[in-house]
C-alpha cells in the first residue's frame, strides 16, 4: 500500500491529464506499481516516476503541415 499526500496525488493527476483517456488508467496503474518498488516515496520520486512513465504513454499528435512544422 502506498501512502501519498494530496500534493503527490495532484501531481500524478496532472501528469495523467495530457494523456488520451483510453490510456490514463494504464498510466495510473503503472505509476502505482513503480512507486511500490521505491524504497522511499516523496514528491521527487513521484515526479520522476510520472515523468518517465508519461513518455511511454504519450502519443504526440501528427504534424499537420502548419506554420511551425
User: In total, how many domains does the chain have?
Assistant: 1
Q: What is the pTM of this model?
A: 0.81
The pLDDT value given to residue 69 = 53
Answer yes or no: is 64 within a domain: no
Q: Is 65 left (phi over 0), alpha (psi -120 to 50) or beta?
A: left
- How confident is the model over 3-53, as pLDDT tens digits? 899 999 999 999 999 999 999 999 999 999 999 999 888 999 999 999 999
Cα–Cα dist 56/23, whole Å: 10
- Report which of 34, 35, 26, 32 is spatially closest to residue 59, judged by C-alpha positions: 26
Answer yes or no: is 15 within a domain: yes
Answer yes or no: is 65 within a domain: no
- Terminal Cα distance for the chain, rounded: 45
Full residue range of the structural domain in which residue 46 is found? 6-19+28-57
Answer yes or no: is 39 within a domain: yes
- Is residue 26 within 8 A of residue 57, CB to CB? The reply is yes
Amino acid at each position: 500500500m502506498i501512502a501519498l499526500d494530496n500534493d503527490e496525488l495532484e501531481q500524478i493527476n496532472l501528469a495523467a491529464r495530457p494523456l488520451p483517456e483510453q490510456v490514463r488508467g494504464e498510466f495510473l496503474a503503472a505509476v502505482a506499481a513503480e512507486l511500490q518498488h521505491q524504497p522511499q516515496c516523496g514528491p521527487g520520486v513521484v515526479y520522476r516516476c510520472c515523468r518517465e512513465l508519461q513518455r511511454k504513454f504519450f502519443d504526440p499528435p501528427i504534424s499537420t503541415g502548419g506554420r511551425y512544422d
